[in-house]
Structure 1
Amino acid sequence: MMKNMFRAALAVALMLGFVSAAAADQVLASRLGAVLGQERQALSVVPDNRLSALTSLPPAPERGVSTRSGVRYDRTFLASQPKADGGAQWRCLSEALYFEARGETVRGMFAVGEVILNRVDSGLFPDSLCSVINQGTGRKYACQFTYTCDGLAETIAEPRAWDRVGKVARMLMDGAPRNLTSGATHYHTRAVNPSWARVYPRTTSIGSHHFYRKPTRTASN
């Protein structure tokens, strides 16, 4: 603020002819040098670690970025990704995300996708995406994902939503980190309360879903 006031006063003096342009430049340079010297002197007493903390970017997780792969859980980031495609497993995962989570935030879509991939890896469920997603389909109250047995036609009617979930599916299949749900293998919407939710430990809640991890049995159980 003081620098701005000094500049204004000098400009007025120059305009009124009290000083020459060359003299004004010399005075301005001298004054700015003195001010910058004072700022450097003030900064010299600030500890290096404090100065570094004040001038550094916050940690990646605080900026919504994965430290492992640069994934950012927002629609701007998702829109910047190339159009996704893939084979049967990619389509199964994309469909599950479309029918189960297309109305969620990007973070919510990734979280639902994590559950499906966690099941594939767990050893307690089938070992492929399509098998996990379609487990129990056709048996009343036995399907694992409601859209596969709700009797409704599975029609992709929202192209932009399909494009988004396809990208999420592609990134998860390509190794995006799964660090949102702490290894969850189950989820349900806030609108229901299944019996297993009373015994499975809840790992987190994201958007309209609660996430849970199925307890692992040990030899001592």
Structure 2
Amino acid sequence: MTFISKRTGALALATVIFAASFGTALNGAVAQDAEPAALEAVQEEQNSTQAPDAAPQVRFVMNEVVQELPEQPEEPEASASDAASLRELVGSVDTSDQMSRELMCLAQAVYFESRGEPLDGQLAVARVVINRAESNTFPDDYCSVVTQRAQFSFVRGGRIPEPNHGSSAWTRAKAIARIAHRELWESPADDALYFHATHVRPRWAGRMTARATINRHVFYR
């Protein structure tokens, strides 16, 4: 009896130990299976509790964004209607800008041919150069008109000398050239193609029609 009881007790003890071991293993298996879900829950909790000052997502714009700039008012140009006289108009013309080669040749013709003349006379000389450039009888541009052989006495070897750039006479000549080129002031010799000094009488003058006499120059068509 005693032996049987011990054996029975041993079996019972072994059964208990086996059951305990099997339960432990089963619980471990369940814990391992549940681990991914637990990690996901932790991750969701971390995402929901992210710091409010975290950097926001950067959004890229596919198309260009162009902001229109306000229109800049254009600088008003000198106008004959704003001037009471040619002298006033000459004084209002901006001569500080760099001149094109063509305007430079026109201003040089005014300077060398008529810098001692009144403004009307200087404007008339500029008109002669412009009218020749627009005529079929002469070259097509101001510089070619001025440097044409045997036409203007101040030209030497097809070259125009340099004026005194710091003189008031040169400043006026540049203003006259701009006024004549833009037709801002009417000249009594508006359609003239020739002129000469009053102290000479060239042979060709008898074949021309006089348009105006301004101080020491006579203008013809």
Shorter-chain TM range is 0.5 to 0.7
Aligned residues: 141
Find out whether 1:174 has 2:186 as its counterpart. Answer: no
Find out whether 1:146 has 2:153 as its counterpart. Answer: yes
State the Cα RMSD in Å: 2.6
Displacement of 1:88 in angstroms is 0.4
Point out the structure with max Rg over C-alpha. Answer: 2
Displacement of 1:148 in angstroms is 0.5
Q: How does 1:88-107 map to 2 (within 5 A)?
A: 88-107=101-120
What amino acid is aligned across from residue 190 of structure 1 in structure 2? T
Is residue 73–residue 106 contact of structure 1 (8 Å, CA) maintained in 2? no
Report SS of the residue matched to 1:147.
coil
- Point out where structure 1 has 5 or more consecutive residues left out of the alignment: 1-66, 137-142, 214-221
Report SS of the residue matched to 1:98.
helix
Is residue 74–residue 105 contact of structure 1 (8 Å, CA) maintained in 2? no
Displacement of 1:74 in angstroms is 4.0
Partner of 1:6: none
Displacement of 1:156 in angstroms is 1.9
What amino acid is aligned across from residue 148 of structure 1 in structure 2? V
Partner of 1:133: 146
CA distance 1:68–1:78, change in 2 (3 Å): closer
Partner of 1:162: 170
CA distance 1:93–1:72, change in 2 (3 Å): farther
Partner of 1:110: 123
Partner of 1:186: 194
What amino acid is aligned across from residue 80 of structure 1 in structure 2? S
Residue deviations 1:65-109 (CA, integer Å, cap 9, x gap):
xx9655655434322322254110011001111100111111111
Partner of 1:210: 218
**Identity across the alignment (%):** 32
Partner of 1:139: none
Report SS of the residue matched to 2:154.
helix
TM-score for both structures, normalised by structure 1? 0.57
